[in-house]
Amino acid sequence: MGFLTWVFFILQILLLHGLPISSDSNLSSKDLSEIPKDFLKVAKRVEFFDWMVSIRRKIHMHPELGYEEYETSKLIRHELDKMGIQYKYPVAVTGVIGYIGTGGPPFVALRADMDALPVQEMGEWEHKSKIPGKMHACGHDAHVTMLLGAAKILQEHQEAFKGTIVLVFQPAEEGGGGAKKMVDTGTLDNVKAIFGLHVAPDFPITEVYSRPGPLMAGSGFFEAVISGKGGHAAIPQHSIDPILAASNIVVSLQHLISREADPLDSQVVTVAKLKGGDAFNVIPDSVVIGGTFRTLSKESLMQLRQRIEEVIIGQAAVQRCKATVNFLESEMPFTPPTVNNKGLHQYFQDVAGDMIHISSVKDMQPMMGAEDFSFYQEKIPGYYYHLGMKNETKGKLAYLHSPLFEINEDALPFGAALQASLAARYLFENKPETTPLNREHHDEL
């Protein structure tokens, strides 16, 4: 955008929309309730929308897997530079943390994940992935775009904020524990609240879905090698059959859910991998099984982990086999359950309700998918929600991780405006508790 267009754009925002943000920040509740509506008007403006669409398509065409998001990160920093937003880089390999406001407390954070998936895009459209075997099939291209959109809206009002909005662009959400790495750097230690979202192809556009307490499951992965003694399939007495042992293990693992877990405490164990033998008449030496387990509390997750190991080793021994169990924590750290802060639930309903009407702010059932936003929530009061994208008139959208997954770009302004509103209102409603830090100390956040 050229300079004159930019000035005109700012004037349009200030004059036509009359945003009720003044530097004294003593806003009435009516003023506060106007912020989300006005931010949405800004995000829906043609120039703004087109800019977001172009960013999203650029990222979509160049998907990068976890901890390899170098180009995505570069694009983010380039856009932040253009907006005059300071940032810290690299954080957790490819992550970027931007700062808007005074540089002092209170700090409120907005988070987007940047990574794509090892999926070959099957949909045909002009901006499909240019990288074979990689695709933004979980919508993280839209998440980055919406956070940049929120940043652009917020930066326009940076003088009005008494406090700092922290923009968190994290790597490796898809099983790589990118959020954990971000938290471990300590850069978010003083943040008072953090908000994150996920696009939802099965919920209608203009609606948001969430709940207080557990929203998504904690998860872990396991792989076990069951070793016996190979031999002739017709003379089993000379062998120790690991296939029989593995079969019993698969069945026994399901009994952990049906007989040991509280029926009201949702849990899942799935054996998704079972490999052993490649001849019709040979008992193999060993079998490998692997899978995932999910729970809605961290205690249940740890209990299930222990029992999975005991059942695999114990059940293998029944068939005279030996077993080793690997929980693969270095590559895929356990993800805790995503548990929404109860106080922030009311706050979220107020802000989202002001933007899209309270009737469009829906409660949802917890789901057993996992989300590493939970690593932030272990340290900081956090709130996670799903942003509807479904528009029946444009046809059904494929689900997350599908090679046919697509984004309804009409949802971009809603995500950008709602994230911006959650951060702005938080600062207006939570005054600094202490003297603001000197600006150059913001890195010590």
- Nearest approach, Cβ of residue 288 and Zn ion (Å): 25
Separation between Cα atoms, residue 321 and residue 246, nearest integer Å: 9
DSSP secondary structure, 292-342, as one string: EEEESSHHHHHHHHHHHHHHHHHHHHHTT-EEEEE--TTTSPPBPPEEE-H
Interface positions, 301-360, toward Zn ion (CB under 5 A): none
| Contact predicate 140/115, CB 8 Å | yes
Q: Go through the chain and tell me how many residues it has.
A: 445
In the complex with Zn ion, which residue's Cβ is closer, 55 or 445?
Answer: 55
- Nearest approach, Cβ of residue 297 and Zn ion (Å): 22
Which run of H or of E encompasses 208?
strand 208-210
Query: Can you name the residues that pair with 271 across neighbouring β-strands?
Result: 291
In the complex with Zn ion, which residue's Cβ is closer, 138 or 287?
Answer: 138
> Which of 134, 94, 130 has the alpha carbon at shortest distance from 117?
134
Q: For the CA atoms of 133, 113, 180, 212, what is the dihedral angle to 10 degrees?
A: -120
> Which of 65, 27, 51, 66 has the alpha carbon at shortest distance from 150?
51
Residue range at the interface with Zn ion (CB under 5 A); choices 136-144, 178-186, 225-233, 284-292: 136-144
- Nearest approach, Cβ of residue 170 and Zn ion (Å): 12
Sequence ranges of the binding site for Mn(2+): 138, 140, 174, 198, 401
- Nearest approach, Cβ of residue 401 and Zn ion (Å): 6
In the complex with Zn ion, which residue's Cβ is closer, 141 or 354?
Answer: 141
- Nearest approach, Cβ of residue 310 and Zn ion (Å): 31
- Nearest approach, Cβ of residue 139 and Zn ion (Å): 6
In the complex with Zn ion, which residue's Cβ is closer, 210 or 315?
Answer: 210
Separation between Cα atoms, residue 197 and residue 138, nearest integer Å: 12
Residue range at the interface with Zn ion (CB under 5 A); choices 44-52, 66-74, 132-140, 255-263: 132-140
- Nearest approach, Cβ of residue 63 and Zn ion (Å): 12
Residue range at the interface with Zn ion (CB under 5 A); choices 131-139, 150-158, 234-242, 433-441: 131-139
| Contact predicate 326/224, CB 8 Å | yes
In the complex with Zn ion, which residue's Cβ is closer, 261 or 370?
Answer: 370
For residue 193, give both structure tokens.
């609240």
Sequence ranges of the binding site: 138, 140, 174, 198, 401
In the complex with Zn ion, which residue's Cβ is closer, 138 or 368?
Answer: 138
User: Is 138 a binder of Zn ion (CB under 5 A)?
Assistant: yes
Which x/- pattern over 89-128 shows residues binding Zn ion (rule: CB under 5 A)? Answer: ----------------------------------------
- Nearest approach, Cβ of residue 249 and Zn ion (Å): 28
Distances (CA, A) of 179 to 168, 258, 336, 368, 373: 10, 32, 11, 19, 6
| Closest residue to Zn ion in the complex (CB) | 138
- Nearest approach, Cβ of residue 173 and Zn ion (Å): 6
Number of residues that bind Zn ion (CB under 5 A): 1
In the complex with Zn ion, which residue's Cβ is closer, 136 or 305?
Answer: 136
Residue range at the interface with Zn ion (CB under 5 A); choices 134-142, 319-327, 328-336, 359-367: 134-142
Separation between Cα atoms, residue 443 and residue 88, nearest integer Å: 7
Residue range at the interface with Zn ion (CB under 5 A); choices 79-87, 135-143, 360-368, 386-394: 135-143
Separation between Cα atoms, residue 95 and residue 188, nearest integer Å: 13
- Nearest approach, Cβ of residue 2 and Zn ion (Å): 35
| Contact predicate 213/339, CB 8 Å | yes
| Contact predicate 169/438, CB 8 Å | no
Chain-centroid distance of CA 32 in Å reads 28
403 torsion bin: left (phi>0), alpha (psi -120 to 50), beta (else): alpha
Which run of H or of E encompasses 99?
strand 95-101
Residue range at the interface with Zn ion (CB under 5 A); choices 120-128, 138-146, 235-243, 377-385: 138-146
User: Is 424 a binder of Zn ion (CB under 5 A)?
Assistant: no
Residue range at the interface with Zn ion (CB under 5 A); choices 20-28, 30-38, 137-145, 409-417: 137-145
CA geometry: angle at 142 spanning 128 and 122, to 5°?
25
Give the chain's end-to-end CA distance (angstroms, integer).
32
Separation between Cα atoms, residue 393 and residue 217, nearest integer Å: 32
In the complex with Zn ion, which residue's Cβ is closer, 164 or 377?
Answer: 377
In the complex with Zn ion, which residue's Cβ is closer, 138 or 172?
Answer: 138
User: Is 135 a binder of Zn ion (CB under 5 A)?
Assistant: no
What are the residues binding Zn ion (CB under 5 A)? 138
